[in-house]
């Protein structure tokens, strides 16, 4: 926290952008090679984090028209389809198939082969996007910008001084929206709300994580809480997507053709909803918002006090040095 008290906005944001751009470069070849699903997942996460950072610290940045977020959005979507299919296949092969009778496993073989074909096609589309001149040009321009960053005067301000200006808006939007009442709703009728809430929680988590140098223990706990909620809502979404994929490819109804698998999916969904209800009850919108806001304000105040103390200490040091030098000169 001592260094964070004097951390300038520009120093922080350039470091964040540089880290994510380097990650995109490092994951590029492994994603194209496709020997493991993890690089694709990590590259997609880096794309999201970079987008959040560019929007979050937008008032500090002078990027120019070519460096918009459009290539990041398009690339993220292409990678997203392949990643979703990776998740479906992993859930089926590692978590569900071992629990099924042989008859259901046999009936699932055509579905598994079709999912594999779709994933291969999705990966080809992702690779096509990663090789596009528009994406590679954007990446090269961002690397050039990082060598000589162009920033606004706000970049010289300490993070602690500017923090509340951009924290208040997105926190209020997140906590007071009706999505927190999803524990009372049926997922099948409110999938869009569920998806939007998950995206907002993810953005909140990444934005808080970007400011980690300034955050105290309570605010850092909020990051872990957001991650837990994001994963929980992701689990619900994955279960629904899997059920839809199976319904689309099976000749008959899922409940009739694969009763054991259908039961496992329903049980998994019920467990997720039960966990979400507990979390949603604890995260009473207005109360949780006030608690986190109060924690962030305390972090900011602590950093400001530390910064003033450091300035005062430096001033005293200079004064003592000047007195000492003057004394020596008069001897």
Residue 64's contacts (CB-CB under 8 Å, 6 or more residues apart) are 145, 150
Better pLDDT: 198 or 48 = 48
Q: What is the pLDDT of residue 320?
A: 46
Say if CB 1 and CB 303 are below 8 A apart. Answer: yes
Cα dist. 276→171, 173, 279 in Å?
20, 20, 5
pLDDT band at 86 (very low <50, low <70, confident <90, very high): very high
Q: What is the number of H-type helices and E-type strands within the chain? A: 11, 0
Q: Residue 59: pLDDT above 90?
A: no
Per residue in 251-263, pLDDT tens? 888 888 899 999 9
What's the longest Cα–Cα distance across the chain?
101
CA dist 193 and 201 (Å) reads 12
Residue 125's contacts (CB-CB under 8 Å, 6 or more residues apart) are 78, 81, 82
Better pLDDT: 66 or 179 = 66
Instruction: For residue 95, give the DSSP letter.
Output: I
Q: What is the pLDDT of residue 289?
A: 74
CA dist 156 and 306 (Å) reads 18
CA dist 137 and 135 (Å) reads 5
CA dist 281 and 269 (Å) reads 18
pLDDT band at 224 (very low <50, low <70, confident <90, very high): confident
CA dist 229 and 232 (Å) reads 5
Per residue in 113-131, pLDDT tens? 999 999 999 999 999 999 9
Q: What is the pLDDT of residue 127?
A: 96
Question: Which residue in the block uniquely carries the two structure tokens 């924690």?
Answer: 295
What is the number of other CB atoms lying within 10 angstroms of the CB of residue 212? Answer: 12
Q: What is the pLDDT of residue 184?
A: 52
Rg of the chain over Cα atoms, rounded to whole angstroms, equals 25
Q: What is the pTM of this model?
A: 0.85
pLDDT band at 245 (very low <50, low <70, confident <90, very high): confident
Q: What percent of the chain has pLDDT over 70?
A: 79
Instruction: For residue 131, give the DSSP letter.
Output: T
User: Which helix or strand (DSSP H or E) is residue 176 part of?
Assistant: helix 159-176
Mean pLDDT over residues 5-18, rounded?
87
Tokens linked to 109: 């073989």
């Amino acid at each position: 926290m001592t260094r964070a008290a004097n951390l300038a906005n520009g120093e922080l944001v350039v470091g964040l952008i540089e880290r994510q751009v380097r990650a995109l470069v490092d994951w590029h070849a492994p994603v194209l090679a496709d020997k493991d699903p993890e690089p694709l997942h990590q590259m997609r996460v880096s794309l999201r984090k970079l987008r959040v950072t560019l929007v979050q610290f937008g008032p500090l940045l002078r990027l120019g028209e070519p460096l918009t977020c459009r290539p990041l959005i398009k690339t993220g979507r292409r990678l997203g389809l392949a990643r979703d299919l990776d998740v479906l296949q992993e859930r089926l092969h590692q978590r569900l198939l071992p629990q099924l009778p042989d008859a259901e496993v046999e009936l699932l073989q055509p579905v598994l082969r079709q999912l594999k074909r779709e994933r291969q096609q999705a990966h080809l589309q992702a690779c096509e996007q990663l090789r596009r001149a528009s994406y590679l040009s954007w990446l090269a321009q961002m690397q050039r910008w990082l060598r000589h960053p162009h920033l606004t005067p706000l970049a010289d301000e300490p993070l602690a001084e500017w923090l509340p200006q951009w924290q208040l808006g997105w926190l209020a939007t997140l906590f007071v929206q009706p999505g927190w009442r999803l524990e009372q709703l049926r997922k099948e009728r409110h999938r869009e709300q569920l998806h939007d809430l998950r995206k907002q929680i993810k953005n909140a988590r990444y934005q808080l994580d970007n400011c980690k140098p300034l955050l105290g223990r309570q605010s850092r706990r909020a990051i872990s809480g957001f991650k837990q909620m994001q994963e929980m809502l992701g689990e619900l979404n994955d279960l629904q997507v899997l059920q839809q994929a199976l319904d689309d490819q099976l000749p008959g109804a899922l409940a009739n053709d694969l009763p054991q698998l259908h039961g496992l999916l329903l049980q998994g969904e019920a467990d997720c909803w039960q966990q979400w209800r507990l979390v949603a009850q604890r995260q009473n919108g207005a109360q949780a918002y006030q608690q986190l806001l109060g924690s962030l304000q305390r972090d900011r105040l602590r950093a400001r006090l530390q910064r003033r103390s450091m300035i005062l200490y430096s001033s005293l040091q200079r004064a003592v040095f000047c007195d000492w030098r003057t004394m020596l000169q008069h001897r």
